[in-house]
Amino acid sequence: MIEPIALPLDDVVGFRIDGRVNSDDVSRIADVIQARLGRRSKIRIYAEVERFSGMSVKAFLKDIAFSLRHFKDFEREAIVSDAAWLKKLAVISDRILPSTDVRHFSRSEKGHALEWIVEKA
């Protein structure tokens, strides 16, 4: 399940993942991102991952298709989680997405993640 997190800036889309992600979850977040991109040239993503129990095949394909269409539209991405595999994924993503600064923060660093995602470069 993905639920939105309200953040103070219009150029930051925040959400929390807890459990299994389905196609409707991906569609809801993609719609929010698309609407924000209509008003801005680039946006930032803030994601808190409580538990990730996987995603449906349809959700995965939808997420990949959306991400490939918009990979240059993301300026920063903060991932907040204590999962070691997400820390590794953030490092890999930061390297393969040159237009996006991707950083991982532990749950104890959540405040720092929020400060970083909203600070102006």
**Mind listing the pLDDT tens digit for each residue in 57-88?**
999 999 999 988 998 999 999 999 999 999 99
Query: Is-contact 81 90, C-beta < 8 A?
Result: no
Please report the pLDDT score of residue 10 as a whole number: 87
Q: Given phi > 0 = left and psi -120 to 50 = alpha, else beta, which region is 69? A: alpha
The secondary element (H helix, E strand) that includes residue 15 is strand 12-21
pLDDT at site 39: 85
- In contact, 13 and 45? CB cutoff 8 Å: yes
What is the rounded distance in angstroms from the CA atom of residue 39 to the CA atom of residue 78?
21
Q: What is the pLDDT of residue 121?
A: 60
Q: What parts of the chain have a pLDDT lower than 50? A: none
Reduced to 3 DSSP states, what percent helix, strand and coil does the chain have, rounded to the nearest 5? 45, 30, 20
CA distance 30 to 12: 13
What pTM value is reported for the model? 0.91
Set out the domains of the chain in order of their start, with CATH numbers.
Answer: 2-118 (3.30.750.24)
The pLDDT, as a whole number, for residue 18 is 96
CA atoms within 13 A on the CB side of 12: 21
